Structure formats: structure tokens, C-alpha cells
Chains A and B, each alone.
Chain A
């Protein structure tokens, strides 16, 4: 077993985790920056193709309080104003700090940062690096900065499976090293959870591999609470077909902003107007209405071959397309897509999670020494996230969490680590006694129609979960569907419990699957539970049996794990205001 001791352990090294690491190290803490993927390569930040909101006022008057007002408006009455204020005010400083770190924000001829008006924003507020390249540039900049900052030790391929608490105080974590499967114990005075979201739980998603939701379960098992779990965000026009490689499936939004485009069902008919929207070649209908309209068309049997609807730009000439999206047109051509000749197929797709770990304005979870940051945090977006707010959330909450975690670690004195507290968690890592799993033997495995062999039990379980989340805990929900989903999720939890933890050895991805599923099932159950109790429609939570918004439910719900292992969900008082 590998034993490590540090001041601050950061779990997850995407945008939020890397910023947390830098901020903690600036406070003088020794930091272990861990990711089950590679530091600065996994997570969601690197995939961000769009823009980043901050009231810099570079392209006209703006103020962070106006950004806050837009964020509150988008959140449909559920935004935690303390967190949103922190996000909007802090975004200005963080974007300027990234500028000093030479991220390369796009500038105009006068040297001012370019800022565009993204939907829902009342001012030109959203900076970017280059079309479709903002996320990679931010990730690269933070990788560089975390390498330059003394006190940070990076650990790529360290999978954290459990947090360790001692008498309710954070003591560290245990997990395994992917390189060889060796068990790892990390004694830490403070821990920052920067584990990202959970959209991988859904069949159709735009997620990277590590958005499996296990961070929420780590928090619950350590005694923290979750908030707003019924609000995963669905992006209405995710790419479905033909297969498009090398590009994020949410890439069609900028096309629609610039060029409009028409949504058509399988019969070639416009349909958005049937559901209260209008779509005559312009992109003015809100995302929730478009998601609803597409889902209803599909239900009515008017789906395309791929199971979605058509998005057509066939009315445009190549000149117009090229002028708007030059090099991207070539990347599409490499995918065999010529927008002037045929439509593509789109569908709503799980994109982001508004809910998450409940924290205060210092990003403290309430469990002494445990902090959270980035998409893993809930509350700042309420029922619906404003576009452009995800990267600021990573940067601002990451910096805040890292700074306060370092201060908490400084005050903690000795680590609360106890071998006894860690033992049950370490035991699970040794469940198979270090035996390597069977490789499946040499055979030609069958495809369509053949029965899955035992070696795919975890894969089948994951696929079943993704299907049921998509069908019954997805864009449109009903009480009956949610209740049934809850039962099936609980049954899957039992099935996983009797599935042995795959053994160690180099790169034990099946073992990773097991732990991802254990956490993901708990996150899934939290979503279904909170969604079943919310008998109204609000933002990203749409109930067919309760289509209206109920002013009496303008409150958040929180979820905790009871000592008997059951998830408990309860209503909270109306959202607190700052000050």
C-alpha cells in the first residue's frame, strides 16, 4: 500500500480542482492534486467550446450585480444568492488573473477583451479564446500554472474511492493507483471535492468519462448534504447523427445563433410552433421549450432514424456557411457532413448538473475540513444555469475552496487520520485479495443477438442505469415513471453489491467501473428521489403530470445519507439572500 500525507487533498483536477490546488498552495499548503484520469485533461473544463461570463465591462458598461440579476432570473427562483454573488463578483478577478497567466482571451483591434452577448445576458459579457477552443486553452493555462506553483504534487491516475472521516472530521481518503492497481491511503487535513458532474448517468450525454457522479456519493458518505439534485440540465440540440467525431456534441448552438436553421420532424415538417414556440429559421425559442417539443415529437412517432429530429441549414449557401464558420466547415466535411446538402439529426442531451454538494460561501460542506468546488457544488444556478456560468463557477469556486481549505488545514494541526477509520474502506480495495480478473479467454465474441458473457456484468448494469435515467428521469418526467425508476435504481444497487469488486493489476478499468457505479447509483437515486417529490415544473425539471410552476415550491430540497444507509430528502426554507 502507498501511504501519503498532505495538507490539502484535491480530488479531481479539471478547472475547479487545478484552481483549488493553486489557491491552496499560494496559502502555503502542501497540495496533492489527484485525478483518476490525467491532471488537467479529464473533466468538463477542457471540453468547453463556448464562452465564459464575467462583467469586465470591456465592450460597454457592465457590473457584476447585473450579471447576478441575469443569473437569478435564469435560475427560476431557486438560486442561492450568496453563491451566485460570489460567482459573479469573483468571475471578474479570475478572468483577469487567467489573462495575466496568458490564457489568450480574444481581443479587439484596440486591445480590449472581446465580449459577446450570450443568451440570457443583458450585456456583452462573455469572453472566449477562439471559436471552439476556450476550454482547452483554460485547461492548458491552469496545467501550466499548477506546474509553476510550488507545493503542488500532481497525481494522474489516482482514483479516490472513499473519503475517510474520524469523529465527523475529515481525515483523508483512500483509493487506488490505476498504473498498477495498488491501494493508496492519503492522510489530509482538508479535502476539496472537485469531481465534476454526473451527466454520464444518462444514455445521451456530452460528458467526459469521469462525469459519473461518484463525487456526490463521496460527499454523502462523508456526512455532507446535496442540494437541487432534481436539476440536471439538458442541452436541447445535441448532435445525434451522422456520427461526428472530434467535436463536442453540443456544437450546434453557435450555428443556430448566427444562422438560424430549421428544426424538422421525420416528415420534414416544422413542429416547434405546436408546442408554443416559434422557429421559422430563427433561434428565439427558449431551450426548455425546444427540449419539450423535440421529446414530444419523438414520442408521437415522428422521430428520425437516429431517434431525434432534423436540424437543417439546407436553405443556406456554402458562402454564408463558410463566412460564419470557416474552418469548422472543413472539419464537418471530414465527417462527411455537407450542411448545404443534408440535415443533421439532433436530440436533447444531458449536459450539466445544477445540483450538487451543499456549501456555504467559503465552499465548506459543514463537515470540518471538507470543501467542494466547481460543477460538484449545487445552488449557484438554481433550476437552470445561465450560459457562460460554468467555467466561472469552476474558477471562482475552485479558488475559494482551495484558499479556505488551506486555512482550515493550517488550523487543524495534526491530521485526524486513523488507520482504524480507514480500514473498512481499504478492505473493499482488497476485496478480491489482489487477484487479477479473468481476461475472458481467446474467442471471437458475438455481436448482435448474442448473449453477453459474465465479463460484461458491470457494462450491462451501467447501460441499464443510463437507459432508465434517460427514459424516466430525463427531459420529461411523470410521478409513475419516477417512482418506477427509484425502485429500479435501488434494485441495481443491490445487484452491484453482490457483484464482486474486480481485482487489481495494471489499469484495472473494471474496478474503476465498479466504484463509479457505486457512486453513480447513489447520485441517480438522489435525482429520482428529489424529482418525485417536486410536484411542479420549474426550469430543467419538467413534470408532465404537473406542468405548471407552483410558487409554494420555490424552495430547494436537500438530500442526506442516514446512518441506516437510506437517502433522506427534505424541503429547505426559501433561499437565503446575501448579507
Chain B
């Protein structure tokens, strides 16, 4: 039986009372916080929202979240066996779960027309 690590994730959409959910994730040395979040999406709850693209390379810079209170990329932050708490960035507007609105204003599809 493999070891598991606890990961607590703050969930909820803008305007809702946030709640924290804790998941036990199969742990492997060196795994990233994003690995754990994607494991949860695949095996436990696909509704968990997270913004990411490149997954491994730390090239897209989309997966920025708060890990134990520090701003970090989920793809390079490690998940220690003792676990972590992950939350959306506190200084950006919340969309849902771990996703905040980090899209530059000029790239937002508003009601405006091209």
C-alpha cells in the first residue's frame, strides 16, 4: 500500500462562502502540487477547477496559486508527505476554486465587438 499525503484545497466560487476540502493523494517523491490536483480531478472530483496549460515545463506560467500562504506555481511546488494547503491567489479576483482572473484586461472577451 502506497503512502498518501493530505492536500487541503480551498474551494468555492466568487460570492460563495469558501470551504476547505481535504484529499488523500497517493504520494510519490518529488511530485508537484499540480500532480496532486490533477490526480484529484481524474480520480475523485472532475469539478475541481484549476488553471494550467504546460503541466511540466513551467513555461506557460498559468498555474499560479497560493501554497501554504506563499505564491507559487503549482507545477513546480512540491507536495511534501506531510501535505500542504492550496488556495487561490488572495490578491486577484476569484473565479472558482483555485482559479483567479489573471487574464490581462486586453485579452478578455467582454461584450465588446472586434
A positions within 8 Å CB-CB of B: 2, 4-6, 30-32, 34, 37-39, 41-43, 46-47, 49, 135-136, 147, 151, 153-158, 177, 179-180, 184, 206-210, 242-249, 335-336, 437-440, 442-449, 452-453, 455-460, 462-463, 502, 505-510, 513
Contact = CB atoms under 8 A, between A and B. Distances in A.
B96 A506 contact: yes
B84 interface: no
B109 A184 contact: yes
Given A179-B109, A456-B44, A508-B49, 20 more contacts: A37-B62, A155-B107, A179-B101, A207-B55, A243-B35, A244-B30, A246-B57, A249-B56, A439-B11, A440-B21, A447-B25, A447-B26, A449-B1, A455-B44, A456-B46, A459-B41, A459-B42, A502-B46, A506-B99, A507-B49
A444 B24 contact: yes
Contacts of A508: 49
Interface residues of B, number: 61
20 contacts: A6-B113, A30-B114, A38-B107, A41-B53, A41-B60, A46-B59, A155-B107, A179-B103, A179-B109, A184-B109, A243-B31, A245-B30, A246-B75, A247-B57, A335-B30, A445-B45, A453-B45, A455-B47, A459-B44, A513-B46
Interface centre among A210, A245, A460 (most CB of B within 10 A): A245
B77 to A, nearest CB: 8
B114 A4 contact: yes
B57 A47 contact: yes
A156 B107 contact: yes
A462 B42 contact: yes
A459 B42 CA distance: 4
A336 B43 contact: no
Contact of B57 (A248, A336, A444, A462): A248
Interface of A is mostly: loop
Contacts of A177: 109
Nearest to A440: B45
B45 A46 contact: no
A447 B4 contact: yes
Contacts of B30: 242-245, 335-336
B108 interface: yes
B99 to A, nearest CB: 4
